[in-house]
Amino acid sequence: MQNRLETLESILDRLRSSIKKNGLKNSKQREEILCVLYKSGTHLSPEEIASEVKIKDKTTSISSVYRILSFLEKENFISALEADKSGRRYEIAAKEHHDHIICLHCGNIIEFVDPEIEERQVKVANKYNTKLISHNMKLFVLCEKCQKIK
Amino acid sequence: MQNRLETLESILDRLRSSIKKNGLKNSKQREEILCVLYKSGTHLSPEEIASEVKIKDKTTSISSVYRILSFLEKENFISALEADKSGRRYEIAAKEHHDHIICLHCGNIIEFVDPEIEERQVKVANKYNTKLISHNMKLFVLCEKCQKIK
DNA sequence: GTATCTGCAAATGCTTTGCACACCC
DNA sequence: GGGTGTGCAAAGCATTTGCAGATAC
């Protein structure tokens, strides 16, 4: 798990402010999903999140999980990752920005940041007269273990 | 359109070899889809490819388009790009390797290569004791025109 | 001839939506 | 109390698959 920049309590406070700001109402599911993602430290699929949340509240539905994930992503509490064709996975956004190394064989994910690449990306965008808003970089690799197996 | 490294005839020859090598049979649909992608010079969705192919042969089905696109991608004749949530888009692989700059506002796509970034990616993979197989990098930007509109 | 390729329609898998009831402010 | 959130089931949408007939070698 990467270093957290913020405590869970602080994030939940921000969530409550965000809800108020948008004229919305509180719900235990929204907080619970954020807690699950904070505590897991990994990249979870909507289904995995749903089954985790269902441990506390069996009636939670997958559609609410999707609705809440969209909201949390829009408000920058979490971020999405498409590691493969099997759908999106989510992680808490309360970490430093990073990109992903994904093992093609076992699916394991490593997070990294390379300041030189980040810098070059801005320059490349400028070179084409565009304004960089965000980026998405995935390195597909064979991890240490999987290199040995093959 | 980016500079082609290879003529259409040369690509079709390679396709025929590849088909023979795999013990498969020729089909006009397979060649036609490759032609469409070669001639378009852009990034087409399966539906767009299908409607293009249907100009010549109205009975071509979308399922064959998907089947053929999978085959052509596996054999490295074309490559896929996921620009947004609306599904995959394909382009001919007979160009130099490149990554994509995508305008978040108008969806326009610019192709680019940055040797420094390419080099750093290999180093990053090595740093984590992994072996880089491929990568996927998309820069999301506002293009020149869309910056002015906003 | 026989195996592959095709078109069609049905199935799949992830995600979204409509609706009636539940819950927050 | 009125609006927002939820669970459920149904719908959507891109993609895949099963099957019977068509086609290549």
Q: What is the pLDDT of residues A16-58, one digit of tens each?
A: 999 999 999 999 999 999 999 999 989 999 999 999 999 999 9
The predicted model gives B46-68 an average pLDDT of 96
Shortest CA distance from B115: residue in chain A: A120
Separation of alpha carbons B37 and B15, rounded Å: 14
Is the pLDDT score of B2 beyond 70?
no
Separation of alpha carbons A106 and A124, rounded Å: 33
Chain B contact present for A74, CB below 8 A: no
Per-residue pLDDT band for A129 (boundaries 50, 70, 90) equals very high
| Candidates A114, A131, A140; nearest CB to B141 | A131
Is the pLDDT score of A94 beyond 90?
no
Chain A contact present for B112, CB below 8 A: yes
Dihedral of the alpha carbons of B110, B115, B121, B127, in degrees to the nearest 10: -170
Q: What is the pLDDT of residue A3?
A: 61
Chain B residues closer than 8 Å to A100 by CB: none
Q: Which nucleotides of D are covered by protein (CB under 7 A)?
A: 3-10, 13-18, 23-25
Per-residue pLDDT band for B3 (boundaries 50, 70, 90) equals low
CB A52 within 8 A of CB A69: no
Chain A contact present for B74, CB below 8 A: no
Dihedral of the alpha carbons of B48, B50, B52, B54, in degrees to the nearest 10: -150
Report DSSP letters for B47-103, one per residue: HHHHHHHHHH-TT--HHHHHHHHHHHHHTTSEEEEEEETTEEEEEES-S---EEEEE
